[in-house]
Structure 1
Amino acid sequence: MPAEFSFLADRPAMRFAQRDEASRPLIPVAPDGLDAALAELPPAQAAFVKAQGFNAGVGQVALLPGADGVEGALLGLGAPAKQARDRFGLARAAGALPEGAWKLTGAWPAEMAEEAALGWLLAGYRFGRYAESAPPKARLVCPEGLDAARLEAIAEGEAFTRDLINTPASDMGPDELETAARLLAERHSATIKVVKGADLLAQNFPMIHAVGRASPRAPRLIELNWGGEGPALTLVGKGVCFDTGGLNLKPGASMGLMKKDMGGSATVLGLAHMIMATGAALRLRVLIPAVENSVGGDSFRPGDILTSRKGLTVEINNTDAEGRLVLADALAYADETPADLMICMATLTGAARVALGPDVPPFYTDDDGVAEALAKASRTVADPLWRMPFWEPYEAKIEPGIADLDNAPSGGMAGSITAALFLRRFVTETQRFVHFDIYGWQPAAAPARPKGGVGQGARAIFAALPEVLT
């Protein structure tokens, strides 16, 4: 492991060049404007662009030679239909250009300029804890009219999330997740407290304790608070640092990515950084139930009935449906101090992936205004989301009869919806509540998103907060 690695480390490749720094022009060209662009170039440069096979595809780069080397470059915008299918496509330029500072020229729509600028920063992410990997050396001057510090805070929050998810469980258990939260709190002068081990029972967090008690790494509830004025926002993130499935042991193929089962906690921590780093005028509370779902003599069992913090009883029909159990206690605790908005984020169900695939996490809320704001923000900042229903007729599926709730309804259908309905039972009807069922993983490399851990929903939430917390 490189000695300099640490969470929230400064990453020069994920920062903008200074606006007064000497830079070379990066000239945007759409396919239907390519002939006109070539006509404006000196004949030798135009011939060189043609020789490179440049057709102005999304993120394609053509270098422009000069007397002292490369004096500029063309940047392909692609056709509108291609742009819509290629999120952060312009970020390809970051890895294709020579070292130095580059400046986008011309008039850019604000949304396109922001996506291009943020994508460039995100393209500089590398997870270098266990093997060196050099980021791109080309740096971008933040386009005029954009808030460079805000975009850097967003990129840094996303990098924090990715680092946490990418770190294997050998180095990212409940202890290490707590340490990461403490580092974040220290950086932003937030307060933090932790309820751990047997104290979970003494302070009435029985389901967090039950899920984590079989592991030698003690379960805990991490709580971070920041800000003294403004509306109250509570973020709750699932922190299952590794999920074996418990006594309902997962097959090996299903266990391979379970280091990412704390992706909800990683995402809310990254979002918390964005909020605190930009000095948002709100009161922030972050709750993370951090556990490892292990197999041992003290494992909770199929058929057990657990009594939650709220007093609702839960029949355990599958110990691999543990995330909703730890979240239930955390949500009940959060609900005891109502907020203007409560958000839950979790890598909760495979059903969500079957429905929407790895790129599009569903979210659930009864508040149409919040849903509309999130949907709008997701399109604006290229952070896809899709609203799914709290479908009332499915409530019966989570009521087993022997207890108030069933943690794993039989039948295998509507799994994401029934999990969302389960969580809603621990939040009062008057509380504005949103639940996100995220994946937290990029299966194959894409522009600005290397294969591995990835934040989902955080940027859309961050963009929507000014509207939903007015």
Structure 2
Amino acid sequence: MPFTDLLTETRAEHSIPIEVMPAGILERGDTLSATEQAWVRASGFNGAPGTMVMLPDAGGQPARILIGADDAMPQANDPWWLAGAAEGLPAGDYHLATVLPEDVRSAGSIGWCLAQYRFDLYKSKDGTRKGPRRLHVTAGERTAALNRAEAVALTRDLVNTPTEHMGPAQLQSAVETLAADHDADVQVIAGDNLLDSGFPLIHAVGRAAAADRTPRLIELTWGRADAPKLALVGKGVCFDTGGLNLKPGRSMALMKKDMGGAAHALGLASLIMAEKLDIRLHLLIPAVENAVSGNAFRPGDILASRKGLSVEIGNTDAEGRLILADALTFACEGTPDLLIDFATLTGAARVALGPDLPATFTDDESLWHGLEAAAQGTGDPLWRLPMWAPYESDFASDVADMNNISEGGFAGAIIAALFLKAFVTPTVPWTHLDVFAWRPAAKPGRPKGGAAQGVLAAFETIKTRLLSDD
């Protein structure tokens, strides 16, 4: 259902109040009647965060909703504090009766929407879907929450869509649809034209795919030409077999999400344009399918790059960094004021940090401090890993300028980030986010499946860094 149906500026006549009740509710005799205290006691509700109880009226219908919270109130950096309630409540109209700061209410509105997100495009019947739970909000809260929720939902939708319906051409269509919505320009370089235009690594990785899945570089531009310049790059490997270094079946099962970096970049771009930030946006998505056929690139091949560096292929399953290399080189040619890339790049990042924490790399201390503050402020966590320069020698090659992998298995996420760094102009402020783009288990507002990680934190960083007067 559209998120616009879930937040309303007009309070319904029979809107049900939601009240925040921290721990110790049964000791607060002035807030509950004796009957309500008995109901709360019987339900086991104690005000713990994430818990909820519905208090009925004389006719057995919900009259008040009590939800638990930390300390005296929820926190502004927790967008999920209302999500559990939104998932558990029956269809109807609700409003927050507890006086809360605007930023707390706004954060809760995002979670309220996303708790009702479903990816059920392929289900003929979904008996679990409820009617809408509508929340009364102010106009400002509504706009901000809808823009953010829709950016996250777009990211999730793209990741969740199976490769059959989300190949390079469909990813291009998604960019073109977004561009049409916001009056942006799109240019696409596809197939052998990539060679003529100077993107040999993107071509090499994607050339083995079927004729209707040719590799391409998708470019979107938007905003005033003389505004602060932001470049976004997203890894768009629409499916990764591993190439000739074929993945085992178990490792291939989730490879529809290997375009998760592109999904993140596109979700972030949608939020930037919806919020009409005064920036010049340059979005680049190298879109390929890493397939196996007679013309697939091989281990031992030496490939040219747009940067002019030659790359020996140590493993065809380290293909994401190759397509990003050409895209990052091109992004830097525009001398952006900020460059951000998103990529589902390494299993090593997941081993180190698990599924929830995107490994974040940058040598720019002020940029990291901005990202860290934004991550904490939005409840959209990031974790910095070092760009450890001594490891650069680990991907040296005897026959080319560099190898696309290291000889050993250590520090895989750092090695990949250092490889990308070789293609970024040193004077360009740059951060690389190695995201998982997937939630293996559901939490309130965050169903199992495609996940948006770092999108909201990156958005706030962009506003602060490129648009702040300080």
* TMscore range, shorter length: over 0.9
**Amino acid in the other structure paired with 1:177:** L
Aligned position for 2:24: 32
Distance in 2, matches of 1:19 and 1:286, equals 37
Matched, 1:225 2:221: yes
Q: Identify the match of residue 190 of structure 2 among 196, 207, 211.
A: 196
Name the SS of the counterpart of 2:7 in structure 1: coil
Asked if the contact 2:395–2:407 (Cα under 8 Å) also holds between the matched residues in 1, the reply is: no
CA contact (8 A) 1:440 1:455 kept: yes
Q: Work out the CA distance in 1 between the residues paired with 2:89 and 2:63.
A: 11
Residue of structure 2 equivalent to 1:147: 141
Check whether the contact 2:257–2:437 (CA below 8 A) recurs between aligned residues. Answer: yes
| Kept after mapping to 2: 8 A contact 1:111/1:380 | no
| Matched residue count | 459
Q: CA deviation at 1:207?
A: 0.5
TM-score (norm 1): 0.93
- Of 51, 61, 79 in structure 1, the residue corresponding to residue 42 of structure 2 is 51
Match of 2:54 among 60, 63, 74: 63
Instruction: Determine the C-alpha separation between the residues in 1 that align with 2:178 and 2:52.
Output: 38
Which amino acid in 1 is paired with 2:69?
L
**Offset of residue 45 of structure 1:** 2.4
Deviation at 1:86, TM superposition (A): 8.8
> Is the contact between residue 58 and residue 83 of structure 1 (CA under 8 Å) also seen in structure 2?
no
**RMSD, matched Cα:** 2.1
- Is 1:75 equivalent to 2:77 in the alignment? no
Match of 1:6 in 2: none
**1:95/1:136 contact within 8 Å kept:** no
Q: After TM superposition, list the pairs within 5 Å mapping 1:426-441 onto structure 2.
A: 426-441=423-438
Find the residue that maps to 1:170 and give its secondary structure: helix
1:367 to 344, 364, 373: 364
* TM-score of the aligned structures, taking structure 2 as reference length: 0.93
Pairing partner for 2:95 from 75, 89, 103:
103
Instruction: Give the letter for the 1:70 counterpart.
Output: P
* C-alpha separation in 2, matches of 1:447 and 1:352: 24
The residue type equivalent to 2:9 in the other structure is Q
- Per the alignment, residue 153 of structure 2 pairs with 159
| Worse-superposed segment, 285-294 or 460-469 | 460-469
The SS at the match of 1:428 is coil
Instruction: Decide which of 247, 264, 283 is 2:280's aligned counterpart.
Output: 283
Q: Is the 8 A contact 1:111 1:381 kept in 2?
A: no
Do the aligned residues in 1 keep the contact of 2:155 with 2:450 (CA within 8 Å)?
yes
For 2:336, the equivalent position in structure 1 comes to 339
CA contact (8 A) 1:124 1:136 kept: no
Does 2:442 correspond to 1:450?
no
Please list every run of 5 or more consecutive structure 1 residues that lacks an aligned counterpart in the other structure: 1-8
3-state SS, counterpart of residue 48 of structure 2: coil
Corresponding residue number in structure 1 for 2:112: 120
1:411, 1:32 → 2: CA distance?
Answer: 55
Change (3 A) 1:110 1:356: farther
The alignment status of 1:20 with 2:11, answered yes or no, reads yes
Letter matched to residue 225 of structure 1: T
Q: Deviations over 1:314-362 (max 9, x none)?
A: 0000000000000001111111111110001100000000110000001
Asked whether the equivalents of residues 17 and 101 of structure 1 are also in contact (C-alpha less than 8 Å), the reply is no
What amino acid sits opposite 2:67 in the alignment? Answer: L
Provide Cα deviations, 1:142-161, integer angstroms capped at 9, x if missing partner.
2x595320110110011111
Moved more, 204-213 or 146-155: 146-155
2:78 touches 2:107 (CA, 8 Å); kept in 1?
no
Answer yes or no: is the 8 Å Cα contact 2:79–2:110 preserved in 1: no
1:399 Cα deviation (Å)?
Answer: 1.6
CA deviations on 1:7-65 (whole Å, 9 max, x unpaired) are: xx84455x3122433322101000034421x5322322222222222111222221122
Q: Distance in 2 between matches of 1:70 and 1:438?
A: 41
Cα distance in 2, alignment partners of residues 85 and 312 from structure 1: 43
Distance 2:77 2:185 in 1: 42
- 1:4 corresponds in structure 2 to none
Residue 89 of structure 1, CA deviation: 4.5
Confirm or deny: 8 A CA contact 1:344 1:436 kept in the other structure.
Answer: yes
Structure 2 residue 388 is the aligned partner of structure 1 residue 391: yes
Aligned partner of residue 31 in structure 1, secondary structure: coil
Q: Following the alignment from structure 1 to structure 2, what is the Cα–Cα distance between the partners of residues 390 and 70?
A: 54
Bigger drift between 84-93 and 308-317 goes to: 84-93
User: What amino acid does structure 1 have at the position aligned with 2:95?
Assistant: K
Q: Provide the C-alpha distance between the structure 2 equivalents of 1:27 and 1:119, rounded to a whole number of angstroms.
A: 16
In structure 2, runs of 5+ residues without a counterpart are none
Contact 2:357 2:381 in 1 (8 A): yes
CA contact (8 A) 1:34 1:56 kept: no
Q: Is the 8 A contact 1:190 1:225 kept in 2?
A: yes
> Within 2, Cα distance between the matches of 1:324 and 1:48?
57
Which letter does structure 1 place at the counterpart of 2:451?
A: V
Measure the CA separation in 2 of the matches of 1:357 and 1:326: 25
Rounded to whole Å, the distance in 2 between the matches of 1:12 and 1:146 is 14
**Greater mean deviation of Cα atoms: 438-447 or 61-70:** 61-70
Q: Go from structure 1 to structure 2 and tell me whether the alpha carbon gap of 1:303 and 1:361 turns closer, same or farther (over 3 Å shift).
A: same
Identity of counterpart residues, as a percentage?
49
Greater shift after overlay, 182-191 or 460-469? 460-469
1:272-328 Cα deviation digits (max 9, x unpaired): 111101111111110000000000000000000001011100000000000000000
Q: Where does structure 1 differ by over 6 angstroms across 4 or more consecutive aligned residues?
A: 82-87
3-state DSSP of counterpart to 1:39: coil
Using the alignment, how far apart are the partners of 2:44 and 2:77 within structure 1? 22
Structure 1 residue 93: deviation in Å?
A: 0.3
Answering whether residue 403 of structure 2 is matched by residue 412 of structure 1, we say no
User: Which residue number in structure 1 is paired with residue 85 of structure 2?
Assistant: 93
Q: Which amino acid aligns with 1:72?
A: R
CA distance in 1, matches of 2:75, 2:277: 32
2:386 and 2:157 map into 1 onto residues whose CA distance is 32
Query: 1:205: which partner in 2?
Result: 199
Q: Is 1:138 paired with 2:133?
A: yes
